[in-house]
A and B are shown apart, each in its own frame.
Chain A
Amino acid sequence: MNHSTTANGTNTGLEVSTHAVEAEIRDRADPQQVLADRVAQLYRQMPIAIAATFIAGLIATFELQGRWLKELVLIWWGLVVAYSVAASLLLYAYHRSADKVTTAPEWLRWLGIAALGNGASWGLAGGVFFRSLSDEQQVFLAFLFAGMASVGIPVYAASWPIFALYAAGILGPFFYVLLTFGNRLFVEIALLVPLFYVINVAIAYRLTHVFHSGYRLRHAYGKLAQDHRLLNQRLERQLVELKEARRQVEASGRKLALFAERAPIAVLELQPDGTVAEVNHAAEILFGYAAAELVGGPVKKLVLAEFHDEFEHIWQQLLSSRESIAGLKIRNPRRDGIELTCEWTVTPLVNFQKDVIAVIAQGRDVTAQLEAERMKKEFTSTLSHELRTPLTSIIGSLQLINSGVMGDVDKEVGELTMVAERNGQRLLDLINDILDIEKIESGKVTLAPEVMRVDELVRESLVLNKAFGERFKVSFQSQGDIPQRQVHADRKRLLQVMTNLLSNAAKFSPEGGIVEISTEDAGPNVRIAVHDRGSGIPEAFRSRIFGRFTQADSTATRQKGGSGLGLAICKRLVELMRGRIGFDDRPGGGTTFWFELPRRTA
């Protein structure tokens, strides 16, 4: 029972859906096209209508002419001929028409008029001739009417209203004549006429619907076929595109594989559980294992045992964050036991569901680089200690002598010890500058920025460098009032910059010269400038003035002293404090060195 119910239910569902599909398909047909097809069908049947009317009319004329007023019969025959000619012309015009689709309603209207005219001409024959004819001729005429009316069904089947008009044209007058004839039999026949009429129209109505739905299906099918063709074309295009895309993917896959294979860095493809899936040649060379020894095994084999916990932690973090990690330094044992330090970039690959499907690890050996860095650091540190310690003794001794606390020395000896002290100091300055620039360039300088007043800084630097200026018989003066401005900077380092600029200005100024210091606003910055009356900067030297170990010429170095690193240090320090540094020629001779720092609004 249950089973049959289910089956029934399924069947019903299927039928419903089939109907629905059919209805949907039919609805795709263009109504205008369907109408045009029906009109074409009607016009195709027209020759039959014309021929039937002409022949039947000829026979009727022949039969009636002896019994009736000859003129009236000939007039009727003229009507039949006129109809035949008019209908033929209409048919001709229809065939000649270029656009049968949008004008279909008009052609239908004309056909309706022609059909009504045709029917009416037969109706006229019935109305005018029937009464006065003999019984046989009446039978002939009635037979003729019935025949003409029934011929109309196939001819006008594509449009039942036209058939209705046509048949009404024939049967209407005939019905009236029969009804008013005065004969009981004829009255009974007359009463049958509307019945037959209604039946015939009903049949025509059904046929019209059959035609209509047939044409709709035809058009729907045509449209479906076209859709299908278009779909096929599109599929073909997509297939071509897909093939091309696949080719490109394969090509880029090969390219990538090639990159990984030939790359000088080790590339490992790892599974999310930490198993090695693939390694490149560089990895084999780096770790001393053949690919087959690594693939399928845990990647931990390449991590020093004491770092396994840390590695596990990083791995879990990688899997949960799904974000790549760069610059990861890991100690990796080689097959022969030698320890390497490698820098790794690890990138998880995720699918559309955001699951990690693989991890790509790219590593390079930085052992030698780290060792070089360590050695450089050690060298710098040794340089700073081993050179400064003896210099401390040399300069210290000379200072004690020159200060006079050890008692008076001979004048010429005193001059020599002064020379020795000054040059010892120069050597010390050079060492300090070298260490300084090394420190700055290796990013080891940490600034201690504070909010400070520029005017205080300028005054402090003037006091600090006064003695140095006096040595070159140069005086430092501030130009006008120094405005009170604040900057965020490292005081000690800024004083170093000022000292460098002031001592340069003093060294290159003529004896008795005045070096001026100005402070002014420059956009969002404060500009501190040191103006000298020196000989200016030679053209060839301008581009590299802030470089390392530069001085305009070696003669100047010998005369004036200095490492040639001062401006390079200044530039780096100012830039570290988010400022800028530069120089301009000074009108009237000399040079202006300036630096700018972002101004802090109080």
Chain B
Amino acid sequence: MPARPLNRICYVEDDEDIQRIVRMSLERVGKMTVAVVGDPTQAIAMITEFNPDLVMLDWMMPVMDGPTLFRQLKLRPETSALPVVFITARASQPDLDELKTLGAAGTISKPFSPKDLPDQLRAIWAALP
């Protein structure tokens, strides 16, 4: 478990409504600092700038999907150590297993409960080495 509490979250999601709900959930319920990115191609720049504790990725996005972005993050030295959590409405078990082996910190399935989302993230954070 990391020494500091989970505070800074960067969320990459193309759906603006869900962006808003997640932001409110994490800020209001979880009292965390949130940065949201709508365009996955801008994500790496934003993540580098924002320097989050944890990155949340949507699975299905136009132009670049979550797993692709995830692999790119893993390739870059400045982002490779960041814990990444997937939020997904669909993903077969083999897909999830593959991501686990690639180093995803966890997955949260859609629809999630905004009341519980901060606790779910903290549980994943607590399970990290």
Interface residues of A (CB under 8 A from B): 381, 384-385, 388-393, 395-397, 399-400, 403, 405-406, 428, 446
CB neighbours of B25 from chain A (8 A): 396, 400
Cβ–Cβ contact A392 & B110, under 8 A: yes
User: Can you list the 10 inter-chain pairs with the closest CB atoms, starting with the nearest?
Assistant: A392-B111, A393-B17, A396-B21, A388-B89, A405-B28, A396-B114, A392-B110, A385-B89, A403-B115, A400-B114
Bound complex: CA A384 to CA B90 (Å): 7
**How far does the Cβ of B60 sit from chain A's closest Cβ, in whole Å?**
6
CB neighbours of B18 from chain A (8 A): 389, 392-393, 396
CB neighbours of B123 from chain A (8 A): none
Cβ–Cβ contact B28 & A392, under 8 A: no
CB neighbours of B112 from chain A (8 A): 392, 396
Interface residues of B (CB under 8 A from A): 15, 17-18, 21-22, 24-25, 28-29, 60, 89-90, 93, 110-115
**Nearest-neighbor residue (CB-CB) of B113 within chain A:** A399
**How far does the Cβ of A447 sit from chain B's closest Cβ, in whole Å?**
11
CB neighbours of A395 from chain B (8 A): 111, 113
**Nearest-neighbor residue (CB-CB) of A425 within chain B:** B111
Residue from B18, B22, B89 whose CB has the most chain A CB atoms within 10 Å: B89
Main secondary structure of the interface of A (DSSP, over half): helix
Bound complex: CA A389 to CA B29 (Å): 21
Cβ–Cβ contact B115 & A393, under 8 A: no
CB neighbours of B28 from chain A (8 A): 400, 405-406
CB neighbours of B15 from chain A (8 A): 389, 393
CB neighbours of B21 from chain A (8 A): 392-393, 396-397, 400
**Nearest-neighbor residue (CB-CB) of A402 within chain B:** B115
Bound complex: CA A588 to CA B90 (Å): 46
CB neighbours of B111 from chain A (8 A): 388, 391-392, 395-396, 428
CB neighbours of A392 from chain B (8 A): 18, 21, 89, 110-112
Bound complex: CA A390 to CA B115 (Å): 18
Bound complex: CA A388 to CA B87 (Å): 12
**How far does the Cβ of A202 sit from chain B's closest Cβ, in whole Å?**
111
CB neighbours of A385 from chain B (8 A): 60, 89-90
5 residue pairs of the A-B complex, CB under 8 angstroms, read A388-B111, A396-B114, A400-B25, A400-B29, A406-B28
Cβ–Cβ contact A405 & B110, under 8 A: no
Residue from B24, B28, B114, B115 whose CB has the most chain A CB atoms within 10 Å: B114
Bound complex: CA A104 to CA B118 (Å): 122
**Nearest-neighbor residue (CB-CB) of A392 within chain B:** B111
**How far does the Cβ of B119 sit from chain A's closest Cβ, in whole Å?**
13
CB neighbours of B60 from chain A (8 A): 385
Bound complex: CA A596 to CA B86 (Å): 37
Beyond A391-B111, A400-B24, list 6 extra A-B contacts (CB 8 Å).
A385-B90, A388-B89, A389-B15, A389-B110, A396-B25, A428-B111
Bound complex: CA A47 to CA B123 (Å): 134
CB neighbours of A384 from chain B (8 A): 89-90
Bound complex: CA A393 to CA B115 (Å): 13
Bound complex: CA A157 to CA B48 (Å): 137
**How far does the Cβ of A163 sit from chain B's closest Cβ, in whole Å?**
111
Bound complex: CA A276 to CA B116 (Å): 67
A405-B29 CB under 8 A given contacts A385-B60, A393-B15, A400-B21:
yes
CB neighbours of A399 from chain B (8 A): 113-115
CB neighbours of A397 from chain B (8 A): 17, 21
A389-B114 CB under 8 A given contacts A400-B25, A405-B29, A406-B28:
no
**Nearest-neighbor residue (CB-CB) of B88 within chain A:** A385
CB neighbours of A390 from chain B (8 A): 17
**Nearest-neighbor residue (CB-CB) of A428 within chain B:** B111
CB neighbours of B22 from chain A (8 A): 396
**How far does the Cβ of B9 sit from chain A's closest Cβ, in whole Å?**
16
**Nearest-neighbor residue (CB-CB) of A383 within chain B:** B90
**Nearest-neighbor residue (CB-CB) of B89 within chain A:** A388
Cβ–Cβ contact A388 & B110, under 8 A: yes
CB neighbours of B29 from chain A (8 A): 400, 403, 405
Residue from A388, A391, A392, A428 whose CB has the most chain B CB atoms within 10 Å: A392
Bound complex: CA A389 to CA B24 (Å): 17
CB neighbours of B89 from chain A (8 A): 384-385, 388-389, 392
CB neighbours of A388 from chain B (8 A): 89-90, 110-111
A396-B113 CB under 8 A given contacts A385-B60, A403-B29, A405-B29:
yes
**Nearest-neighbor residue (CB-CB) of B59 within chain A:** A385
**How far does the Cβ of A433 sit from chain B's closest Cβ, in whole Å?**
15
CB neighbours of B90 from chain A (8 A): 381, 384-385, 388
Bound complex: CA A388 to CA B15 (Å): 12
Bound complex: CA A590 to CA B89 (Å): 39
A446-B115 CB under 8 A given contacts A393-B21, A403-B29:
no
Bound complex: CA A392 to CA B89 (Å): 9
**Nearest-neighbor residue (CB-CB) of B25 within chain A:** A400
CB neighbours of A396 from chain B (8 A): 18, 21-22, 25, 111-114
CB neighbours of B113 from chain A (8 A): 395-396, 399
CB neighbours of A405 from chain B (8 A): 24, 28-29, 115
**How far does the Cβ of A581 sit from chain B's closest Cβ, in whole Å?**
25
Cβ–Cβ contact B93 & A446, under 8 A: yes
Residue from A388, A390, A393 whose CB has the most chain B CB atoms within 10 Å: A393
**Nearest-neighbor residue (CB-CB) of A448 within chain B:** B93
Residue from A391, A396, A403 whose CB has the most chain B CB atoms within 10 Å: A396
CB neighbours of B110 from chain A (8 A): 388-389, 392
CB neighbours of A403 from chain B (8 A): 29, 114-115
**Nearest-neighbor residue (CB-CB) of A390 within chain B:** B17
Bound complex: CA A395 to CA B21 (Å): 10
**How far does the Cβ of B23 sit from chain A's closest Cβ, in whole Å?**
11
Bound complex: CA A298 to CA B56 (Å): 58
Bound complex: CA A428 to CA B110 (Å): 11
**How far does the Cβ of A449 sit from chain B's closest Cβ, in whole Å?**
14
Bound complex: CA A403 to CA B118 (Å): 14
Bound complex: CA A389 to CA B110 (Å): 7
**How far does the Cβ of B79 sit from chain A's closest Cβ, in whole Å?**
26
**How far does the Cβ of B67 sit from chain A's closest Cβ, in whole Å?**
15
Bound complex: CA A399 to CA B28 (Å): 13
**How far does the Cβ of B95 sit from chain A's closest Cβ, in whole Å?**
12
